[in-house]
Copies of this chain bind each other. A is one copy, B any other.
């Protein structure tokens, strides 16, 4: 069943796309519902479509050889996914599961490739999206090369900082075990590092957000580190 034109028009990838092209694409797409915990896409499968989350919430799940979860991230409504395999024809690089009841629209691979490679607007958006991923992968590699675990946590926290009307804040901080995976350390180290910043009055917790009380000092400890008080009690 094709998806409604209004739904397709709300997908950011198609913003400002000419209406005839959009109509054509919407007619080629099909929609499917997924219950919580359903598998939407399976790592290793052949690519048969480019997918768009219409409503609900999905999670990208990758497992290490030993079955540990890695690189947790969520897909929000409006986003597309599965573009890697559509572009290079290689198997799916990760699995995607639904976190709650979700509607997903699928555009078959052949048509998706035609859409991507023959519409400058779409090619540009995908290339820009990839450029961002490549940049953030490269700065994450820089971050991971910091030998001190505390400093890696500080540098990771620094990447979450946003300007708000109340000054610098960290909203929607990932869970401690998620940060631990990002910076290759233990959850306990993440906990101790954040605690250290609070004791130093660099960060202050207000409900679900962290206020950066001393932005310059956060930058400083992210760059040169701070002694871990638990390994350096003189």
**Residues 198-222 of chain A, each 1 if its beta carbon lies under 8 Å from chain B, else 0:** 0000000000000000000000001
Most B CB contacts (10 A, CB to CB) among A83, A93, A141 go to: A141
**Residues 42-59 of chain A, each 1 if its beta carbon lies under 8 Å from chain B, else 0:** 000000000000000000
A contact face: mostly helix, strand, loop, or mixed? helix
A103 at interface (Cβ–Cβ under 8 A)?
A: no
Instruction: Out of B70, B83, B117, B134, name the residue touching A133 (CB < 8 Å).
Output: B134
State in angstroms the CA–CA spacing of A184 and B148 once bound together: 11
Q: In the complex, how many residues of chain A place their beta carbon closer than 8 angstroms to a beta carbon of chain B?
A: 42
Residues on B with beta carbons closer than 8 Å to the beta carbon of A223: 65-66
| Contact status B138-A87, CB under 8 Å | no
CB neighbors of B among A97-149 (8 A): 116-118, 120, 123-124, 126-128, 130-135, 137-138, 140-142, 144-146
Closest chain B residue to A186 by CB distance? B147
Which A residues contact B (CB, under 8 angstroms)? 62, 64-66, 68, 70-71, 83-84, 87-88, 90, 93-94, 116-118, 120, 123-124, 126-128, 130-135, 137-138, 140-142, 144-146, 181, 184, 222-224
